[in-house]
């Protein structure tokens, strides 16, 4: 399981995924179907996400099934952006269709 901040044209979202990489073509395709055709992704440590999101994390994880490999944990861009410092984010992954 990975957690990542995806910076999109409408602001950052925090996602959980079972894909090995944020550049995985299947993940990119799923984001594309949601209207996200260009993004910058940064992995964040899953333990840090658990700590900051408290009980909301297990609720979302409880819904994560093997066939459902992408969940949005937080779509409030202001909250996501202010919940993590840049130094807590992994190296950027750029994608543009």
- Tens-of-pLDDT digits for all 97 residues of the chain? 899 999 999 999 999 999 999 999 999 999 999 899 999 999 999 999 999 999 888 888 876 554 568 889 999 999 999 999 999 999 999 999 8
CA 59 to chain centre: 16
CA distance 6 to 43: 9
CA distance 66 to 68: 5
User: How wide is the angle at C-alpha 22 spanned by C-alphas 5 and 68, nearest 5°?
Assistant: 90
Kindly give the pairing relationship between strand 11-17 and strand 2-8. antiparallel
Query: Do 18 and 64 contact (CB within 8 A), yes or no?
Result: yes
Q: Which DSSP symbol is given to 89?
A: S
- Provide the whole-model pTM: 0.89
pLDDT of residue 62: 78
């Amino acid at each position: 399981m990975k957690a990542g901040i995806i910076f999109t044209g409408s602001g950052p979202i925090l996602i959980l995924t079972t894909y090995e990489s944020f550049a995985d073509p299947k993940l990119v395709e799923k984001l594309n179907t949601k209207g996200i055709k260009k993004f910058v992704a940064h992995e964040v440590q899953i333990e840090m996400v658990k700590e900051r999101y408290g009980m909301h994390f297990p609720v979302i994880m409880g819904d994560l099934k093997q066939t459902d490999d992408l969940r949005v944990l937080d779509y409030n861009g202001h909250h996501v952006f202010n919940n993590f410092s840049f130094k807590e984010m992994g190296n950027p992954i750029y994608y543009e269709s």
